[in-house]
Structure 1
Amino acid sequence: MASQFVARSLDEIRFWSRIMKEHALFLSLGFNFDDTKLIQEAQQYIDLFERIEQQLGQFTVNSDPQQIATFNNQVYQAAASIWAYKRKVLGLSLRCEIRSNNFPLLLDHTSREAAYFAERLKELNEGKLKPTPAKIIKENVFFLRIMADHSKFIGHLLDPSERKLVDQAREFSHDFDQLVFQATDLDSMRPQSETQPILDHFLDENRVSVVALRDFKKAARELIEECRIKSIIHPLLADHVFREAERFLHIIDMFEASLTSNK
């Protein structure tokens, strides 16, 4: 159990610290040139999560669990802080106190991911390693909404002349919105362990859709890197959303393995 706690903690921090660092970069690129304070704050978060990534190098799966718990608390504070920063920027945007190229939905989206990261670290330190049926559904609701958001962002950041790709992005947005509604309905039904066949089907259905979106993102990333399509999508952003789809598939694998072990 201790080794699982260490491995899971390091995995979460490795993945999400990079995501947080990239969020700060993307937000800074979207600000106006005169939003100097917000840009400086974004740079501070880039530096903060780079330091966390460097600290990761001193730990292994054989590290002392107590040291990892302390590290989790430290990173939790960083995640909570960047969440507050993102919510502050969202408030400024909604009140029209700043004008930037950061969609309000993007600001909300990135703050949800920071909250998720912080919550994962808190759960790990509380010893919550085995997912319950309710946890499986809630986490799928979270990631399905993330995938739906990605589809919307891609559709809006592609050049309007890329009609086929824009249409594909809109189709993915619609499909994932429907999956979010379906998952939310299942969440309100609060299925227990005896409804495992429903959870198995739920995960299988989500996997099919996420694989299709992951493959679309991969193709788009390659086209953007090779300058073969017209868009204002940063190549790092294209890779960023691809990695998050891969992460969701990894989590579905973990959930399926957990359900199988309960049979």
Structure 2
Amino acid sequence: MSNEFVRRSLDEIRFWSRIMKEHSLFLKLGFRCDDAQLIQEANQFYALFEQIEARSHSYTELTDPEQIKQFNKDVQSAATRIWAFKRKVLGLIIQCKLPGGNNFPLLVDHISREANYFRNRLGELNEGKLEPLPDAIIDENVFFLRIMADHAKFIGHLLDPSERQLIEQTRNFSHDFDQLLFQAIDLSGMRPQSQTVPLLDQFLDQNRVSVASLRDFKKTAKELIEACRIKSIIHPLLADHVFREAERFLFIIDMFEATLTKGKPSPVM
């Protein structure tokens, strides 16, 4: 179990520290030129999570669990600080104190939700209070389905208006994931009666199909953006960023299903 704690901790930190680092860059790119203080803060967070990411790769599954526990605390503190920064930025945008910037309020809320998810997961790992499998399946899917729905909306808004077919595809994905999210919320509300193996298995199967489809769309869009074959204001790193998050969701779905049907310990609970 000690090795499993270390493995899970490093997996979460390696994935999410890179995500937090990139969030800092995306926020910076969306600020106005005269937002010097916010740009400086974003740069500081970029450097912080770059250091955390590098440090995470200096450890292995054989590292002393107590050392990893302290590392988790340090990273949780950093995640809390970037969460607070993102909420501050959201407040400034909503109060119209950053007119002319390019950070959508929903995007800033979106990335703050991910920071909150990250810091909570590290706390759960350190406290040994991970959710039972049926609860984890529903809660993880509620979280990630909303993330996927947001991604579809962001992509649609960052494509050039003349890319009509691609924009229509993003609208369809947005609608699809909104519906899947509502279904997941309904399933959540019916707990614990809804937490039967057949229902949860069908839930995972249905979500996997849609996530795989969106993942493939993101992969194609990423390749088109990198080849300068479509018109958009999407940064190539952002295209890769949302693709990796879809891959992460698929990995989690597959791990949950393996655990649900075979009774193996889940690496993502």
TM-score (norm 2): 0.95
Counterpart of 1:44 in structure 2: which amino acid? Q
Distance of 2:164 and 2:194 partners within structure 1: 45
**1-side partners of 2:38 and 2:30: how far apart?**
11
Runs (4+) of structure 1 moved beyond 4 Å?
none
Report the Cα distance in structure 2 between the residues aligned to 1:119 and 1:126, rounded to whole angstroms: 11
**Partner residue of 1:241?**
242
> How far off is 1:193 after superposition?
8.6
User: For residues 108-127 of structure 1, what are the structure 2 equivalents within 5 Å?
Assistant: 108-127=109-128
Q: Which amino acid aligns with 2:44?
A: Q
Letter in 2 for 1:138: D
For 1:133, the equivalent position in structure 2 comes to 134
**Which consecutive residues of structure 2, in runs of 5 or more, have no partner in the other structure?**
265-269
Q: What SS class does the counterpart of residue 108 from structure 2 fall into?
A: helix
CA contact (8 A) 2:159 2:167 kept: yes
CA deviations over 1:197-256 (Å, ceiling 9, x no partner)? 100000000000000000000000000000000000000000000000000001111111
Q: Counterpart of 2:219?
A: 218
5 Å matches for 1:35-74?
35-74=35-74
Match of 2:174 in 1: 173
- For 1:98, the equivalent position in structure 2 comes to 98
Q: Is the 8 A contact 2:21 2:50 kept in 1?
A: yes
Aligned-partner Cα distance in 2 for 1:235–1:57: 25
Deviation at 1:132, TM superposition (A): 2.5
Distance apart, 1:57 and its partner CA: 2.8
Structure 1 residue 119 displacement after superposition:
0.8
Distance 1:247 1:75 in 2: 20
- What's the counterpart of residue 261 of structure 1? 262
Unaligned runs of 5+ in 1: none
Are 1:201 and 2:189 an aligned pair?
Answer: no
Percent same amino acid at aligned positions?
Answer: 71
What CA deviation, in whole Å up to 9, does each residue of 1:150-181 have, x standing for no partner? 00000000001000000000000000000000
CA contact (8 A) 2:187 2:194 kept: no
Letter paired with 1:88: K
Offset of residue 98 of structure 1: 1.0
The equivalent residue for 1:31 is 31
Give, as a single letter, the amino acid of the residue that structure 2 aligns with 1:16: W
What amino acid does structure 1 have at the position aligned with 2:5?
Answer: F
Q: Is contact 2:160–2:232 with CA below 8 Å preserved after alignment?
A: yes
